[in-house]
Amino acid sequence: MTAPSATVHEQATRRLAALATPPGALGRLGEIAVWISAAQGTMPPRPLTNVRLVIFAGDHGVARHGVSAFPPEITGAMVRVLLGGRAGVSALARTAGVHVRVLDLACADEFAELGADARDRLQQFKVRRGSAPIHLTDALTEEEFQASYRAGETVALEEIEAGADLLISGDMGIGNTTAAAALVGAVLGLPAAAVVGRGTGVDDAALAHKTELVDQALARVGARSADPVEALTALGSADLVAASAFLLTAARSGVPALLDGLMGVTCGLLADRLAPGSAAWFVAGHRSPEPAQTLALEALGLSPLLELDMRLGEGSGAVAAVPLLHSAIALLRDVALLEDLG
Ligand SMILES: Cc1cc2ncn([C@H]3O[C@H](COP(=O)(O)O)[C@@H](O)[C@H]3O)c2cc1C
Ligand SMILES: O=C(O)c1cccnc1
């Protein structure tokens, strides 16, 4: 894995220090401007003109076992809302000029009412109808892992071919916070109690049950879970594998990626375990109230740009941070230098 340019990082750091501002006055915006400049290999950084979000949708077998405040049927219903441009992230993406693509990797729904073209676009990379319940059995077969991985890789390359200068992964899938918590527990060697959160807002009883099922899943998988491929196969899902491969491919291709909440950062962590060094290409959009997201951020050495108590997923927290990236870039490009003050 090549790293962002150290030379450009140094040039950008010097320009930041020379701007007509007190040293350090731009805070995190200054750091982000330097990071994006190094990732682009260009000083000053280029304005972002093609930010692209891909939402990886899929059902999770564990969702039928009392771990979510909502029924699994919401996954397909929300995919339709996303296709219609009326989801939370759709509104944010329009204001931020972010291109949105929705893919069904493993929805139980077949979207039979869609026209053939729209359905083919949506299901181009479909691996299965619902990933298996992780507390009882592996989420995926080896072949399904491979297909999901190839899907994420192919999609990232397609988005880059379409001109992406920043990539974002989003999620839709009732029960996915259970799988993500299990993955973070597996990768960081933590028990369920440390990683499980309320997701869509489960009550105390359901939270306790969710914690039990994550512990059951971690115990079922045992030492296998130390390996990122095994962890994703056993505890993940087709959509989470694809999102991990998507982020990893962005990093390998030298395209920066902006991470969202629990699913985004979990997949970022898996990407970095699959291809060490990937994290150097990632920036974190926001902090989610999910404990596993903060733990995964720490493991990646990332600190999030926003802390708005958002817990929506869909890529929304990342998209909400896009305007800050534009601002950071503009500052490093447009602000006068101290030496010009005379
Ligand atoms: C209406 C609705 C819209 C959503 N958009 C994203 N999520 C998010 O919440 C779900 C994960 O939480 P849990 O693990 O508790 O099921 C996923 O679908 C995720 O994308 C939504 C959830 C709902 C209900
Ligand atoms: O952290 C997130 O992204 C999140 C939290 C709850 C539900 N869906 C997503």
In a domain, 1, yes or no: no
Characterize 63-73 residue by residue with b for buried, 16 or more Cβ atoms within 10 angstroms of its Cβ, and e for exposed: bbbebbebebe
Q: What is the pLDDT of residue 50?
A: 98
Q: Which atom of ligand 2 is nearest to the CA of 260?
A: 3
Question: Are residues 66 and 37 part of one domain?
Answer: no
| Alpha-carbon distances of 311 from 10, 25, 290, 295, rounded to whole Å | 36, 30, 8, 16
Please indicate whether residue 113 is annotated as part of the active site: no
Q: Which residues pair with 58 in a beta bridge?
A: 106
Let me know whether 20 and 124 are in one domain. no
CATH code, 164: 3.40.50.10210
Q: What is the CB neighbour count within 10 angstroms for residue 321?
A: 24
Domain count, the chain: 2
Q: What is the CATH number of the domain that holds 30?
A: 1.10.1610.10
- Counting ligands in written order, the one closest to the CA of 64 is 1
Mutate to test the pocket of ligand 2, among 312, 314, 319 (most ligand atoms within 8 A of CB): 312
Contact 49, 165 (CB under 8 A): yes
Same structural domain for residues 59 and 196?
yes
Q: Are residues 269 and 162 in the same domain?
A: yes
Same domain, 80 and 199: yes
**4 Cα to the center of ligand 2, angstroms:** 29
* pLDDT given for residue 35 in this prediction: 98
- What is the Cα–Cα distance from 5 to 254, expressed in whole angstroms? 10
Residues 208 and 293 in one domain: yes
pLDDT number for residue 341 = 87
3-state secondary structure of 105: strand
Pair 34, 125 in one domain: no
Q: Is the CB of 313 under 6 A from ligand 2?
A: yes
Whole-number Å distance between alpha carbons of 341 and 199: 52
| Measured distance CA(119)–CA(305) in Å, rounded | 36
For residues 136 and 276, membership in a common domain is answered with yes
pTM over 0.90, yes/no: yes
Residue 285 in domain = yes
Report d(CA 161, CA 31) in Å as an integer.
Answer: 28
Give a yes or no: residue 203 inside a domain.
yes
Query: Ligand 2 pocket: which of 290, 306, 307, 309 to mutate (most atoms <8 Å of CB)?
Result: 290
Print the domain residue range for 222: 51-324
* 270 and 295 within one domain: yes
In whole angstroms, what is the distance from residue 180 CA to residue 89 CA? 20
Largest CA distance in the chain: 71
Pair 26, 101 in one domain: no
The answer to whether residues 105 and 61 belong to one domain is: yes
β-pairing verdict for 257-259 and 282-284: parallel
| Rama region for 261: left / alpha / beta (φ>0; ψ in -120 to 50; rest) | beta
Residue type, 67: V
Atom 24 of ligand 1, nearest CA residue: 70
Is there an atom of ligand 2 within 6 Å of 200 CB? Answer: yes
Model pLDDT for residues 139-150, shown as the tens digit of each residue = 999 999 999 999
Left (φ > 0), alpha (ψ -120 to 50) or beta: where does 231 sit? alpha
pLDDT under 70 in the chain at which residues? none
Could you tell me if residue 292 is inside a domain?
Answer: yes
Check whether residue 257 and residue 294 sit in a common domain: yes
Residue nearest to atom 3 of ligand 1 (CA): 78
- Residue 227 belongs to a domain: yes
| Residue 315 near ligand 2, beta carbon < 6 Å | no
